[in-house]
Amino acid sequence: MGNQETIVIKCGGSIMNELSDSFFQSLSFLADQGYRLAIVHGGGPDIAALLKRLNIQSEFVNGLRKTSAEVLDVVKMVLAGKVNKQLVTSLQTYGLNSVGLSGCDGMLLETKAINYEELGYVGEVVDVNDQLLNHLMDGGYVPVISSIGVNKEGESFNINADLAAGAVAQALGAKQLLFVTDVQGILKDDELLPEVTPADVEQLMKSGVIYGGMIPKVQAAIKALSPSLHQVQIVSGKASFMTENGEWIGTTIKYGKEETEGSADELLISNIPTI
């Protein structure tokens, strides 16, 4: 089956070193079905480990890593270097021709500072070079994007990977956005919930069904929803997220009627940690 629909995959830093053979096989399956794939990744644990090794202090402000010029150097080394190239190499092992990029390449992720005084070099995406990404995907490549951005003055920024993925998905008019985590999706009484709305998620958080580390994951997924991106899925990076029949294994969060009054810009505001 051939099609030109795009799927954006966001891999958080916490799962990057645990991606399984089955996960990569699921990506290969999607590519074989004719989907165009683009991947956005973070690398929080690796950044934290190198900062500790170099004895560089770092703190979080309102859930975002305060990024000094010194911290930014480490962020760029880890994200655009180690993590990006490891992921590109893994994808190519599974027959997925991949190109590693940062948001600085070709002004891929044009960025502005959120608040220099409070956060330093932490930014938000104001424009995506979708022409570059479409050119690569049309040529049969999978763009693998590290969540670093740049402004027109040449300053680099650390970007929340969840928000970067949402911006890329919206710019590409993606059919779906996958948030890859260490669990299959939202579980209730040990049963996977295949589909929920943001209103359902709110109730599940209030009742304690969604708790701990799953809370920021579902909040990030909901923030990515917009009038042009109607569904986001939470899937596992430790196992296959597709059945042999091509059915999804995970939780789909669907854009509901209650969200239609919000704009895409409003829905891209997040307090999820920069990863």
pLDDT band for position 230 (50/70/90)?
A: confident
Half-sphere exposure of 133 (CA within 13 A, CB side): 30
Give the H or E element holding residue 46.
helix 44-53
Higher local confidence (pLDDT), 244 or 118: 118
Which CATH number is 6-267 given? 3.40.1160.10
The closest alpha carbon to 84, from 68, 101, 96, 70, belongs to 101
Flag whether pLDDT at 81 surpasses 90: yes
pLDDT of residue 265: 38
Query: Catalytic amino acids?
Result: 10, 13, 44, 162, 217
- For residue 63, report the phi and psi dihedrals to the nearest 5 degrees: 85, 0
Of 46-50, 183-187, 206-210, the poorest mean pLDDT is in 183-187
What type of residue is 129? N
Annotated binding residue 250: no
| 44 assigned ligand-binding residue | yes
- In whole angstroms, how large is the CA radius of gyration of the chain? 18
Tokens 């590519």, residue? 31
Q: Give tens-digit pLDDT for 83-133.
A: 999 999 999 999 999 999 999 999 999 999 999 999 999 999 999 999 999
Q: Which of 62, 30, 67, 27 is nearest to 47 (CA)?
A: 67
Strand 64-65 to 60-61 pairing: antiparallel
pTM: 0.88
Domain boundaries, the chain: 6-267
* pLDDT of 255: 80
Q: Which residue has the higher pLDDT, 163 or 78?
A: 78
Categorise residue 100: left if φ over 0, alpha if ψ from -120 to 50, beta otherwise.
beta
State the average pLDDT for the chain: 88
The answer on pLDDT for 153 being more than 90 is: yes
How much is the average pLDDT of 1-28? 87
Q: Is 65 a known ligand-binding residue?
A: yes
271 marked as binding residue: no
Q: Note the pLDDT of residue 35.
A: 94
**Average pLDDT for 245-266:** 68
Assess contact for 140 and 255: CB atoms under 8 A. Answer: no
Confidence of residue 257 (pLDDT cuts 50, 70, 90): low
Q: Is the pLDDT assigned to residue 49 strictly greater than 90?
A: yes
Please give the pLDDT value at position 31.
Answer: 94
Q: CA–CA separation, 163 vs 165, rounded Å?
A: 5
For residue 12, CA distances in Å to 106, 161, 163, 262 come to 23, 7, 12, 26
Q: HSE-up of 253 (CA within 13 Å, CB side)?
A: 27
Taking residues 65-91, what's their average pLDDT? Answer: 96
- Look at residue 180 and tell me whether its pLDDT is greater than 60: yes
At 122, give phi and psi (nearest 5°): -115, 130
Collect all residues with Cβ–Cβ distance below 8 Å to 225 and sequence separation of at least 6: 198, 231, 232, 253, 255, 259, 267
Residue with tokens 């089956």: 1
Residues 169-192 have a mean pLDDT of 90
pLDDT attached to residue 271: 32
Amino acid 9: pLDDT? 97
Separation of alpha carbons 100 and 96, rounded Å: 12
pLDDT of 2 higher than 50: no
